[in-house]
Amino acid sequence: MSKETTIDTQELGEKILQVIKTIYDPEIPVDIYELGLIYDIFINEGNDVKILMTLTSPNCPVAETLPVEVEEKVKSLDAVNDVEVEITFEPPWTQDLMSDEAKLELGML
């Protein structure tokens, strides 16, 4: 009998969040999670991950590179099988989506 190492989706979700919190919008000194750019993270039984995210604007200068960075960093986790990052502008990003931590960092509180 082989012993399989299993990781539950909640634990994996926390690891994914830790990785996402290392990714910053180059124009704003706050990570993309605290900015409110991550709308949802889905993980299936096969540890395939789908991340629904937005950008601060459709013309964001990192529109091409930021989703790729998210995909590559999340895919680097051993427990993750595959990653798909989907960009949406519904609902559009607003400063209201930022955490209090991000607003404090940017002097908005």
- Please report which confidence band the pLDDT of residue 7 belongs to, taking 50, 70 and 90 as the band edges: low
Q: Does domain 9-100 have CATH number 3.40.470.10?
A: no
The pLDDT of residue 2 is: 33
| Domain parsing of the chain, residue ranges | 9-100
Whether the per-residue pLDDT at 37 is higher than 60: the answer is yes
| Among 3, 81, 2, residue whose Cα is nearest residue 42 | 81
Tokens describing residue 20: 């996402």
Helix extents (H) in the chain: 9-20, 66-75, 100-105
Mean pLDDT of the chain: 90
Full-model pTM: 0.88
Tokens describing residue 24: 């910053």
Phi, psi of 87 (to 5 degrees): -95, 135
Tokens describing residue 57: 């604007």
Are 51 and 69 in contact by the 8 Å Cβ rule? The answer is no
